[in-house]
Amino acid sequence: MMNPLATRELGTTGIMLTQLGLGGTSVGSLFGKITDDDGVKVVKTAYDAGVRYFDTAPLYGCGSSERRFGLGLKDVPRDSFVLSDKVGRYLEPDPEGTGAGKGGNFHDDEPYRLVMDYSPDAIRRSFEDSLKRTGMDHFDIVYVHDPQLHVYQVMRRRLPDPCPG
């Protein structure tokens, strides 16, 4: 395993990010389907190469990216990397498999459909579901995903603290 890459502080947060991170779109089969094994290998290879910043979201493969990141990072110390996720979309079961709302360029066969919702309850649900899919106990950073698509809805709401206490 290689030493981590050079880092920089994220603003004044105290969170140190490697200057190179791994985004989860490709791990979620953006533009072409990949297997769970290959997605996990991508994550592990990035970690072994020194990457310590990983970013995912429910949108990426309807949860497959989050699941694969969790599997790829489960055997390394949780305090050795930074993981970010996003809220603003959550997944609902889609037993018919119509793919409604899946995000047209993702090619996984997850049994979910995406729902875009920036309400406090939906944000909390998205956050909690993402923790379960990754198998993590926390995220270091949580972004609001694509707020520009519903800027007025986002701005009218006070976003809840996903980690109270």
Active site residues: 60
Q: Is the dihedral of CA 38, 113, 70, 86 positive or negative?
A: positive
- Tell me the residue ranges of DSSP E strands in the chain: 7-9, 16-18, 21-23, 53-55, 82-87, 89-93, 112-116, 141-144
Cβ-based neighbour number of residue 34 at 10 Å: 20
